[in-house]
Amino acid sequence: MSELMIDAVEVRKTFGDVTALDGVSVAVPTGTVHGLLGHNGAGKTTLVNVLTTLFAPTGGSAAVAGFDVVRDAAEVRRRIGVTGQFASVDEDLTGTQNLVLLGRLLGAGRREASQRAVELLELFGLTEAADRPAQGYSGGMRRKLDLASSLVGRPDVVFLDEPTTGLDPESRLGMWDVVLNLVAGGTTVLLTTQYLDEADRLADTITVLAEGEVVAAGTAAELKDRVGRRTVSATLADAADIVPALDTLRRAGLEPLQSGRTLTAAVGSSRALAVVVRALDDAGIEADELGLHEPTLDDVYLTLTGARP
Amino acid sequence: MTALATKSSAARVRPTGSGVLTQVQVLTGRALRRLRDPRMIVLSMLQPLIMLTLFSQVFRSIANSPGFPAGVSYIDYVLPAILVTTASQAAMWSGAGLATDLRNGALARFRTLPISMASVLVGRSVFDLVRSATQLIVLLVAGAMLFGYAPTGGVPGTALALLIGLAVGTGLSWVFIALACWMRNVELMQMVGFVVIFPLMFASSAFVPIAELPSWMRLIAIINPLSYAIDAARGWALAQPAWGATIGALLTAAALTVVAGAIASRGVRRP
């Protein structure tokens, strides 16, 4: 098996006049989680559809598990699991029936398929609901069943299209656990998300998409470095100190901004915190609170996509 | 949760993909499960029964008109035709049902599996066939018990009429399945169904002899393929075999199935 589980090169996809993907390249090493980050309409789902053999790309090429998504689509389908934005479980069937049906379609015998269903229902905590029609499942349970459905065939790579959209916080954390467990077992995961904390928490590498193009790619740390806006903030104990404190920080070579009793300044390195502390201390200014803030993925996202014409 | 990680657990499901026969069998079973809902059965049986009652009673006097075959009761004349029109209407519903499935994503996962999407459609079609057959049998039983249906062709003739109805219904259902695969809009499907099926039903030999229709409608009735199917079904039921119409109806149904089936299989792959 190749080292790259997903290898998309300059993928283009147009629908009539609309360009959904304009030369997107994504490389995902085996056994890692890759996050596709972007707004609605950025091209995330289109890329997933190309990688899962649903759309043939208009240009470029893509391979999943070493197989071309167009020429060897059938081979690709044997190795992938897909959980879409719309939970595609069969409402009329029970949890067990849903999973057995898929097992049978994937080539398992009746017994094997039932065994696998029991296994998966247990893993997702759905054993009690196993024999109830999926119609009566809550949103979180349905999503779990949907994800379980995509794992029936023990795929090498799992595509999760916005797996936690619309879930309550608890279900969301549960879903994160599932993803982390999948990866621990050697499965490669590609997930799309609009949630920056989700990508930050789960993804080894991230591709930021906007209007069908890659605007940034790398690890979460690399992306933060690229934006490079660490800030120091100091909340003064005494409002009378505001003006002298601003002067002090300017003398220390910073460009402070003021909001109430809180001063903030962009800094280059984490050493800057010590500089600020010493400068304020030397000037005899007391601060209630001092902090160094790493840029969040929100900053990254807004900087990278906001700067585009 | 950690067991999720181990690839060597007890149940070995290898995604080799199943054979087409298994696929069709499993997917037909999935579709047929819907029939276990008693409300569904009662409602789908009620509609053709209402049609039968209305037509056999409202148009009864047509049997006295000069163009009507002598010595034939209206129920014996109209019930074989209603077999064909009921099966044709059912075809419309199969399109609407599939469009719903396609709309709400129920079939989305199947596209990412190593299976043939044609199997999904065949499963749907077999489901429609079973439902249709049940409807037609209920119609025949009701016709015989309530309205005195007893044609000269007897049970064998009626059975042939039933088979012709089912063949035509299946051919038409593939047309609507193909439409559903490309249009994916339930309301639109129902409109198209209404616009296509109702004129075909009435501008035909179904309820009155073609000679009794206004001349412009007679023209439509003569070129209307449904007329042939109706003539064929009626011919067998009344022990007056119409070989030409029978062969024509069966060939048309087969051609529709093949052509629409190919178009549908292409369309259903689109996400």
ipTM value, please give it.
0.77
Confidence class for position B153, pLDDT limits 50, 70, 90: very high
Distance from CA of B27 to the nearest CA of A (A): 8
Q: Letter for the amino acid at B51?
A: M
The alpha-carbon radius of gyration of chain A (Å, integer) is 24
Instruction: Give the mean model confidence (pLDDT) for residues A144-162.
Output: 92
Chain A CB contacts of B22 below 8 Å:
104-105, 107
Let me know the angle formed at the C-alpha of A135 by A129 and A137, rounded to the nearest 5 degrees: 45
Confidence class for position B15, pLDDT limits 50, 70, 90: low
Which residue, B114, B69, B103, B98, is CA-closest to B234? B69
Does B158 score more than 90 pLDDT?
A: yes
- What is d(CA B4, CA A262) in angstroms, rounded to the nearest whole number? 48
Distance from CA of B91 to the nearest CA of A (A): 22
Q: Which residues contact A182 (CB under 8 A, 6 or more apart)?
A: A151, A158, A189, B4, B5
Distance from CA of A114 to the nearest CA of B (A): 8
Does B194 score more than 80 pLDDT?
A: yes
Does A95 score more than 90 pLDDT?
A: yes
The pLDDT score that the predictor gives to residue A308 is 47
Among A215-219, A259-263, B163-167, which range has the highest average pLDDT?
B163-167
- What is d(CA A174, CA A189) in angstroms, rounded to the nearest whole number? 16
Considering only A72-81, A184-193, B35-44, which range has the smallest mean pLDDT? B35-44
Instruction: Give the mean model confidence (pLDDT) for residues B38-64.
Output: 85
Q: Tell me how many residue pairs between chain A and chain B have CB atoms under 8 A apart.
A: 126
Does A172 score more than 70 pLDDT?
A: yes
Each residue's pLDDT tens digit, A286-303: 888 888 887 776 777 777
Does B84 score more than 90 pLDDT?
A: yes
Instruction: Give the mean model confidence (pLDDT) for residues A39-44.
Output: 88
Does B81 score more than 80 pLDDT?
A: yes
- What is d(CA A98, CA A277) in angstroms, rounded to the nearest whole number? 61
Instruction: Give the mean model confidence (pLDDT) for residues B243-252.
Output: 94
The pLDDT score that the predictor gives to residue A228 is 67
Confidence class for position B4, pLDDT limits 50, 70, 90: very low
Does B8 score more than 50 pLDDT?
A: no
Does B113 score more than 80 pLDDT?
A: yes
Query: Which SS3 state, helix, strand or coil, does residue B258 take?
Result: helix
Among A4-13, A275-284, B40-49, which range has the highest average pLDDT?
A4-13
Given a contact cutoff of 8 angstroms between Cβ atoms, the answer to whether A51 and A95 are in contact is no
At residue A269, what are phi and psi to the nearest 5 degrees? -125, 170
The pLDDT score that the predictor gives to residue A86 is 65
Instruction: Give the mean model confidence (pLDDT) for residues B57-85.
Output: 88
- Asked if the Cβ–Cβ distance from A53 to B112 is below 8 Å, we say yes
Instruction: Give the mean model confidence (pLDDT) for residues A232-240.
Output: 87
The pLDDT score that the predictor gives to residue B176 is 93
- A208 and B CB contact within 8 Å: no
Confidence class for position B13, pLDDT limits 50, 70, 90: low
When comparing pLDDT for B232 and A172, which is higher?
A: B232
The pLDDT score that the predictor gives to residue B3 is 40
- B5 and A CB contact within 8 Å: yes
Does B2 score more than 70 pLDDT?
A: no
Q: Which residues contact A267 (CB under 8 A, 6 or more apart)?
A: A230, A231, A232, A254, A273, A276, A292
- Asked if the Cβ–Cβ distance from A182 to B13 is below 8 Å, we say no
Which CA distances in Å does B47 have to B44, B139, B199? 6, 10, 19
Mutation target to probe the A interface, by most A beta carbons within 10 A, among B13, B20, B100 is B13
- B6 and A CB contact within 8 Å: yes
The pLDDT score that the predictor gives to residue B67 is 80
| % residues pLDDT > 70 (chain A) | 95
Mutation target to probe the B interface, by most B beta carbons within 10 A, among A44, A79, A154 is A154
- What is d(CA A26, CA A203) in angstroms, rounded to the nearest whole number? 14
| % residues pLDDT > 90 (chain A) | 45
- Asked if the Cβ–Cβ distance from B26 to A153 is below 8 Å, we say no
Instruction: Give the mean model confidence (pLDDT) for residues B239-250.
Output: 93
Instruction: Give the mean model confidence (pLDDT) for residues A140-156.
Output: 90
The pLDDT score that the predictor gives to residue B30 is 85
Q: Which residues contact B133 (CB under 8 A, 6 or more apart)?
A: B162, B166
User: pTM of the predicted model, to two decimals?
Assistant: 0.79
Which residue, A147, A217, A218, is CA-closest to A187? A147
Q: Which helix (H) or strand (E) holds B66?
A: none
Residues forming beta bridges with residue A82, ordered by sequence position: A159
Average pLDDT, chain A: 88
- Asked if the Cβ–Cβ distance from B114 to A78 is below 8 Å, we say yes
Average pLDDT, chain B: 87
Q: Which residues contact B191 (CB under 8 A, 6 or more apart)?
A: none
- A70 and B CB contact within 8 Å: no
- Asked if the Cβ–Cβ distance from B26 to A150 is below 8 Å, we say no
- SS3 track for B150-199: CCCCHHHHHHHHHHHHHHHHHHHHHHHHHHHHHHCCHHHHHHHHHHHHHH
Does A1 score more than 70 pLDDT?
A: no
Each residue's pLDDT tens digit, A193-225: 988 888 888 999 999 998 899 988 999 888 877
Chain A CB contacts of B18 below 8 Å:
104-107
Does B7 score more than 50 pLDDT?
A: no
- A304 and B CB contact within 8 Å: no
The pLDDT score that the predictor gives to residue A288 is 87
Across the interface, which of A80, A93, A103 has its CB nearest the CB of B13? A103
